[in-house]
């Protein structure tokens, strides 16, 4: 007998599962019936007890810990404390047709952003045509003069993009944020999949899941495609800030999987506008750098003069075309929150197409009509500064007090250009194994998708990082604020 509804399922772990009409659940319909593409998971889970789930969960955690899939937590003790990024046993499943549309939309969006970056550092046509306000770009602290007139190989700037998407209560995907500087998190996608294949192999093999393991080879071939001319077998490296960086595991993992050198700034030097690394046999020329160091720290001669993470003279070598950087410096001018609202216009302008992916409607406080709407509807909106990240300076209207709202109105009034507002999105919820409760409970999720652009080639990872807000009721999925992750299965059919 198949699983008809939650009640028939293993009551132990789903018995208290709560559905709320204002949020869409990824797995269950309003009538508590499982959606078709999740049916086999629930059938399988029906055979497992709460004890089994606990054992699986513990086993997976230990496996992550032993592999060093951890990030450092800083503490006052001499010894560093290391934590794993919490990983959930219940995979998030995306049906093939749903994915196909996402994939097309992601390529479209990131190609348009690439056109835009090229444009703002060259002819600035979109600004001249008044489609995007020029002062919005020129005032961005991420607009990098050193990039003016640079012609990167293949015309690619945002080789690697991380696009944050959510599914709203209307069942539609919306882009929340574009990350085209140094997006991270891919190693968790790959590690989650490995863990899933080890622990739930009996479930895994019931599905036709698209692979994610080709990511690193795709990335390597993207790197080769944009190598400077004349480099027959280009030497590619991954530049890390070093082993105390919280994402060091990811850097090492990617370098190892691609078989390229994992270098630090101190391993490199520039001589006559060529980049070299110091090997045990002497200097060796470097052609392509996948840098996981922020713009500010790349080259002390041009950016932050105190940086020891970068390489003096790197930008000169780059401008000469003697080395390729992934992503290009200065891409940050395209992913701030005010520029975000123009991405649909960029798609129409550069590609002459209608945008496939939805943007969340964004009110720009600098526009009078928008400003008026924002001030009158603050309790229904999220208000964000355009140029800050990590969730700083944000007001969630529905959670704020009258006093906080009225104070914030003053803040906006003083600098209207700095603020945008968006409706509060109802992120979908997904059953998630909660350790202390020993049962599945609904938690809000998003999806970070990874798109690669190379010379005449595009690739979207079939899957991505489904981030989970582990705190009950929270809409914030960031790992620094109690977020976890799920393996994300894109089905082949």
Partner 1 sequence: MLARIGNSLFWLGRYIERSEHLARYAKVQYASFMDSPLAPSKEFVLESILNMGGMYQSYLSQYPELSEDEVIHYVTIAENNAFSVQANIGYMRENARGARDRISSELWEAINIFYHDINNYSASRLQYEGVHQFSHKVEVNSSIIKGCIDNTLIRNEAWILISLGIHLERAIQVALIMLNKVYDIEKLDASNLGGPVESYQWAIMLKSAESFDMYKRYHPEKKSSYSELNFLLFNQDFPKSLAYNLQKVQGNIRKIAFRDQRNSDSIEFKAGKIASQFQYLTMDEVEGSLTGFLNETVANLNNLAALLEQKYLCF
Which residues in this chain contact partner 1 in the complex, by CB under 8 A?
Answer: 65-68, 78-79, 243, 248, 252-253, 255-256, 260-264, 266-267, 277-282
d(CA 384, CA 397): 11
**Minimum CB–partner distance for residue 271 and partner 1 (Å):** 15
Backbone angles phi, psi at 14, to 5 degrees: -115, -5
The residue (of 73 and 97) whose beta carbon lies closer to partner 1 is: 73
Strand duo 358-359 + 173-179: pairing: parallel
And the tokens for 410? 């003053």
From the number of C-beta atoms within 10 Å of its C-beta (0-12, 13-18, 19+), residue 398 rates as: exposed
The nearest distance, CB 263 to partner 1, in angstroms, is: 6
State the minimum distance, in angstroms, from the CB of residue 301 to partner 1.
20
Q: Which is nearer to partner 1, 277 or 382 (CB)?
A: 277
Minimum CB distance to partner 1 smaller for 1 or for 280 = 280
Nearest distance in Å: CB 90, partner 1: 26
Indicate the residue among 326 and 490 with the shorter CB distance to partner 1.
326
Sort 260 into a burial class: Cβ within 10 Å, 0-12 / 13-18 / 19+.
buried
User: SS3 for 371-391, per residue?
Assistant: HHHHHHCHHHEEEEECCCCCC
Among 173, 84, 196, smallest CA distance to 487 is for: 196
- In terms of Cβ atoms closer than 10 Å to its own Cβ (0-12, 13-18, 19+), residue 321 is middle
Nearer to partner 1, 132 or 254 (CB): 254
Q: Which is nearer to partner 1, 216 or 341 (CB)?
A: 216
For the bound state, the minimum distance from the C-beta of residue 241 to partner 1, rounded and expressed in Å, comes to 13
Residue 104 or 278 having the CB closest to partner 1: 278
- Closest by Cα among 96, 106, 164, 86 to 425: 164
Q: How far is the CB of 278 from partner 1 (least distance, A)?
A: 5
**Minimum distance of partner 1 from residue 79's CB (angstroms):** 6
Q: What span, in angstroms and rounded, lies between the C-alpha atoms of 112 and 34?
A: 38
Helix, strand and coil in the chain, % to nearest 5: 35, 25, 40
């Amino acid at each position: 007998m198949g699983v008809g509804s939650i009640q028939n399922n293993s009551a132990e772990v789903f018995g208290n599962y709560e559905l709320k009409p204002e949020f869409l659940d990824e797995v269950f319909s309003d009538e508590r019936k499982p959606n078709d593409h999740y049916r086999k998971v629930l059938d399988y889970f029906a055979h497992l007890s709460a004890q089994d789930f606990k054992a699986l969960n513990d086993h997976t955690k230990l496996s992550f810990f032993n592999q060093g899939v951890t990030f450092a937590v800083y503490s006052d003790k001499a010894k560093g404390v290391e934590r794993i990024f919490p990983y959930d046993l219940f995979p998030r499943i995306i049906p093939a047709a749903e994915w196909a549309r996402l994939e097309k939309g992601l390529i479209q969006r990131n190609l348009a952003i690439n056109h835009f970056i090229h444009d703002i550092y060259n002819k600035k046509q979109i600004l001249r045509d008044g489609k995007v306000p020029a002062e919005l770009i020129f005032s961005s602290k991420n607009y990098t003069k050193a990039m003016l007139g640079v012609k990167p190989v293949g015309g690619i700037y945002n080789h690697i993009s991380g696009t944050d998407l959510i599914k709203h209560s209307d069942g539609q995907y919306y882009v929340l944020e574009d990350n085209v500087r140094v997006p991270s998190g891919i190693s968790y996608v790959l590690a989650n999949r490995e863990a899933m294949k080890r622990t739930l192999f009996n479930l895994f093999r019931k599905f036709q899941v698209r692979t994610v393991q080709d990511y690193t080879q795709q990335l390597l071939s993207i790197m080769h495609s944009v190598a400077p001319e004349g480099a027959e077998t280009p030497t590619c490296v991954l530049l890390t800030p070093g082993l105390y960086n919280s994402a060091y595991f990811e850097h090492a993992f990617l370098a190892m999987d691609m078989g390229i050198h994992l270098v630090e700034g101190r391993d490199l030097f520039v001589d006559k506008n060529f980049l070299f690394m110091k090997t045990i046999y002497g200097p060796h020329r470097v052609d392509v750098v996948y840098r996981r160091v922020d713009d500010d720290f790349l080259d002390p001669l041009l950016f932050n003069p105190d940086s020891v993470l970068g390489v003096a003279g790197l930008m000169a070598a780059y401008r000469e075309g003697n080395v390729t950087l992934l992503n290009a410096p200065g891409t940050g001018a395209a992913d701030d929150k005010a520029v975000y609202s123009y991405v649909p216009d960029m798609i129409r302008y550069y590609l002459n197409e209608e945008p496939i992916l939805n943007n969340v409607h964004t009110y720009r406080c600098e526009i009078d009509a928008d400003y008026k709407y924002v001030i009158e509807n603050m309790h229904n909106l999220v208000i964000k500064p355009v140029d800050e990240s990590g969730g700083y300076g944000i007001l969630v209207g529905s959670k704020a007090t009258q006093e906080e709202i009225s104070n914030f109105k003053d803040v906006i009034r003083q600098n209207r250009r700095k603020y945008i507002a968006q409706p509060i999105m109802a992120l979908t919820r997904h059953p998630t194994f909660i350790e202390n409760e020993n049962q599945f409970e609904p938690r809000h999720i998003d999806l970070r998708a990874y798109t690669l652009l190379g010379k005449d080639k595009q690739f979207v990872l079939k899957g991505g990082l489904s981030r989970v807000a582990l705190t009950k009721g929270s809409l914030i999925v960031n790992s620094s604020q109690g977020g976890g992750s799920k393996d994300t299965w894109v089905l082949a059919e």
